[in-house]
Structure 1
Amino acid sequence: MNESSSFTTSQSLLQQIASLLIYQSVFDHEVGQVFISLLKTLSKDFNNNDIFTAPKAIAPRTALDCLQVYGYWFRTLAAHNQSWQDYLITQILLDHNPFTQQIQTTPLEKLPSALIDAVKHDLRILQQICQYDSKYLSKWVQVASQSAFTPISWQLETSLATFLHHHHDWAEAISDLANYYCQHGTGIFAQYHALRWQEGKLLGISNPDLVELTTIVGYDLQKEALIKNTEFLLAGYPALHVLLYGSRGSGKSSLVKGLLTKYSQAGLRLIEVSKSELKELPLIVEQVRNLPQKFIIFVDDLSFEEDDDAFKALKVVLEGSLTAKANNTVVYATSNRRHLIREFFSDRPKLSDNDEVHAWDTVQEKLSFSDRFGLTLTFEPANQDTYLQIIKHLAQQANINFPQEQLEFRAKQWATRHNGRSGRTARQFIDYLKAELAITQSD
């Protein structure tokens, strides 16, 4: 390889990237941007003028800049711990563009032929670019910089066993690609199964609390009802909004989180919304309304003060308005209060000239707000039998080999000295006991 061939090839790759019609944003991320910067550096005619204008962050001036930009390229791949092929394919699978957006609701054969042709055009370009990994670029950099050594190339085994790897021509994989987008979604909804609404936008949760439904015992009827309602949602049938209320530490929140662990591959997504953000609930619903995935809007520890704007926003979502109900979205809320709006004795009607004429109607609206949830699941405080049942179940799952009588005795002591009998207390005790036994056995 000589300087002329690397110069020509890098120019050609830049032209192909510039000619992308649908998948341009594949290169918007850090690795893609450094890849383009490196190609621009390599395509610089050091004897004349720049062929392409480099980004402000990396403005090549000499052949030595090739080594520096290649260092950025190596470091960004190492930071993502992916091969170039895996990174590029991941971006293709996550990309949010007119094709990936429309294919989720429209059959492939009904999309405009021009859109299909553009996708095939882009896939062929991306397949060619995918072949030029760190090994090729390392050699080009050595030639361009006239270095005495070949820079180390970032090499990892390709781990994404996708259909793209199995097609000689990626354009022929468009049907499989369409099925993938329909099943997994695109953009943030493909990358994350758990999200939160914060400051007016959805943010992905990289490390969600993965709860297994099998760890939640003692409330089997409540679990069965919630699972059945969630399966209605996933199957496309009308599902009910759910209020889970009752004793603290009984596993209400864990039960909702466990649904995501069980059904995320079936298209379920969980959106956590804090009470302070509830006023934007209608906006959240509109943002996900037309997506094929199914969404649980999760509100933990729900309660309201009087004249709370969040109360009005939630009421619109629960009861509906002129806008049609979103069939792919339900609200699951947990609370320690059966009556979600705080009521004071001063709220009760009094006989005076200044009182509201129909004051009892206002009181009843407050007390009946929880009835607007279609399904209310009650979590009673755990009695001793239920508490010990949870202890035994968690101990078995944690592979704790401990005499039964001693286990029960210590569990009762723990509940007395700490937070009382509950699923949360049982989990804390088992975690403590597991760590204690592990340290004892290691000594």
Structure 2
Amino acid sequence: MPTQTGTRRKTARTQARVEVDAPRADAPVSIDLSGQLAALFQRANGLLDRLETLLPTPLSEPDWAASVAFRWISKGGRKQLVPVHKLSPITYDDLIGIEDQRRKVERNTRQFVQGKPANNVLITGSRGTGKSSLVKASLNKFARQGLRLIEVDKADLVDLPELTDLLADRPERFIVFSDDLSFEEGEPGYKALKSVLDGSVSATADNVLIYATSNRRHLMPEYLQENLSYKHLENGEIHPGEVVEEKISLSERFGLWVSFYPYSQDDYLRIAEHWLRAFGVNDRQMDKALQESLVWALERGSRSGRVAWQFARDWAGRGGK
């Protein structure tokens, strides 16, 4: 049976052991954080990678030797010039029935590639009459003299100032081409194009011209009620209102206007014959083919160069059967 003194000694030894085993309050605690830090860094790097895809990337020059034509692509903050490797082979000789329009654009483009003063060009008129084909034929004509073509969609016209800055120091001559252009009220590309054509603080590069095609002469929709804004003066003069003036102001910034009109039947037949011969149709089949080309045009409600070309492809493809 333990004595009282022995019990006290045992209790003291137990307390001392507890005091020895327990850590001191001011003693440093060692914890292995390497695994947690590695996981944290991995998550941070993943987040940065995702953010990088959302940030605009610096614009770099393309391989200018890759092609004579490029497309301006702007998607998800990434902007780049992409070379076009398969080009339309159309030439000026393929453009039938638009000889006057061809001469104007050819003369202006020749002045441009020779370093002489030249104008921005607005090509307007009926659909399928060869507006964009005229621009492509100009590239094929003058590419060996340093002409290059850059196609820009309407939605990307807001990037025009950035694009022209990129091209300004290049030795080539650039046509910035926007096809089938038209604007609705308030579209951002409208003001960007207007600023680049004329009126911006910075001057447009000497080696850049803008060629645009449109079905609208003034590039904007025109409404009947806008005629009410015209002012009739006592001397009989008529002055357009502010709305009309604003809509006209963009098209007026193009120095050269080239208008296209619907083809006559004779011109349509000339175009159809040209493309039929290009697809290998011989003289013996030609009369029959041309008669059918008129029916083809009637069914489509249009005598355009595009319709004539489509007929020639169809006829040649089925061998006139």
Specify the alignment match of 1:46 in structure 2. none
**1:421 equivalent in alignment to 2:303:** yes
Deviations 1:30-78 (A, max 9, x none): xxxxxxxxxxxxxxxxxxxxxxxxxxxxxxxxxxxxxxxxxxxxxxxxx
CA separation in 1, counterparts of 2:115 and 2:209? Answer: 12
**1:395 equivalent in alignment to 2:238:** no
In structure 2, stretches of 5+ residues that fail to align are 1-60, 230-238
CA separation in 2, counterparts of 1:365 and 1:309? Answer: 15
Amino acid at match of 1:396: R
| Structure 1 stretches of 4+ moved >6 Å | none
| Corresponding residue SS for 1:195 | strand
| Corresponding residue SS for 1:338 | coil
Query: What is the CA distance between 1:257 and its match in structure 2?
Result: 1.0
Q: How does 1:37-48 map to 2 (within 5 A)?
A: none
CA separation in 2, counterparts of 1:413 and 1:244? Answer: 29
- Check 1:327–1:320 CA distance in 2 against 1; reply closer, same or farther (3 A cut): farther
Q: How does 1:171-190 map to 2 (within 5 A)?
A: 188-190=63-65
Specify the alignment match of 2:256 in structure 1. 375
- Check 1:203–1:187 CA distance in 2 against 1; reply closer, same or farther (3 A cut): closer
CA separation in 2, counterparts of 1:333 and 1:267? Answer: 20
CA separation in 2, counterparts of 1:292 and 1:267? Answer: 8
Query: What is the CA distance between 1:419 and its match in structure 2?
Result: 4.6
CA separation in 2, counterparts of 1:345 and 1:217? Answer: 36
CA separation in 2, counterparts of 1:349 and 1:405? Answer: 53
**Aligned match of 1:433 in 277, 291, 315?**
315
- Asked if the contact 2:125–2:259 (Cα under 8 Å) also holds between the matched residues in 1, the reply is yes
- Check 1:359–1:420 CA distance in 2 against 1; reply closer, same or farther (3 A cut): closer
Q: How does 1:292-303 map to 2 (within 5 A)?
A: 292-303=171-182
**1:410 equivalent in alignment to 2:273:** no
Q: How does 1:109-188 map to 2 (within 5 A)?
A: 188=63
Structure 1 or 2: larger helix share? Answer: 1
**Aligned match of 1:310 in 186, 189, 208?**
189
Specify the alignment match of 2:266 in structure 1. 385
Deviations 1:376-397 (A, max 9, x none): 1110001101101111222233
Amino acid at match of 1:430: A
**1:213 equivalent in alignment to 2:92:** yes
Q: How does 1:46-125 map to 2 (within 5 A)?
A: none
Q: How many residues align?
A: 248
CA separation in 2, counterparts of 1:262 and 1:419? Answer: 33
| Corresponding residue SS for 1:259 | helix
CA separation in 1, counterparts of 2:247 and 2:160? Answer: 20
| Corresponding residue SS for 1:208 | coil
* TM norm structure 2: 0.72
**1:192 equivalent in alignment to 2:33:** no
Query: What is the CA distance between 1:424 and its match in structure 2?
Result: 0.0
- Check 1:269–1:407 CA distance in 2 against 1; reply closer, same or farther (3 A cut): same
Specify the alignment match of 2:23 in structure 1. none
Deviations 1:333-371 (A, max 9, x none): 000111211233455667xxxxxxx99123212134212
CA separation in 2, counterparts of 1:360 and 1:310? Answer: 23
Deviations 1:186-214 (A, max 9, x none): 95221111101111221111222332222
**Aligned match of 1:331 in 191, 207, 210?**
210
Query: What is the CA distance between 1:404 and its match in structure 2?
Result: 3.9
CA separation in 2, counterparts of 1:414 and 1:347? Answer: 39
Q: How does 1:229-308 map to 2 (within 5 A)?
A: 229-308=108-187
CA separation in 1, counterparts of 2:121 and 2:190? Answer: 16
Percentage of matched positions with identical amino acids? 40
Query: What is the CA distance between 1:317 and its match in structure 2?
Result: 1.4
Deviations 1:377-425 (A, max 9, x none): 1100011011011112222333311444312211101101125200000
- Asked if the contact 1:349–1:359 (Cα under 8 Å) also holds between the matched residues in 2, the reply is no
Structure with bigger gyration radius: 2
Specify the alignment match of 1:365 in structure 2. 246
- Asked if the contact 1:295–1:328 (Cα under 8 Å) also holds between the matched residues in 2, the reply is yes
* TM norm structure 1: 0.53
Deviations 1:266-301 (A, max 9, x none): 111110000000111111111101111010111011
Query: What is the CA distance between 1:437 and its match in structure 2?
Result: 1.4
CA separation in 2, counterparts of 1:372 and 1:394? Answer: 36
Deviations 1:290-323 (A, max 9, x none): 1110101110111111122111110111114221
| RMSD (CA atoms) | 2.2
- Asked if the contact 1:245–1:337 (Cα under 8 Å) also holds between the matched residues in 2, the reply is yes
Structure 1 or 2: larger strand share? Answer: 2
| Corresponding residue SS for 2:319 | helix
- Asked if the contact 1:195–1:272 (Cα under 8 Å) also holds between the matched residues in 2, the reply is yes
- Check 1:230–1:407 CA distance in 2 against 1; reply closer, same or farther (3 A cut): same
| Corresponding residue SS for 2:63 | helix
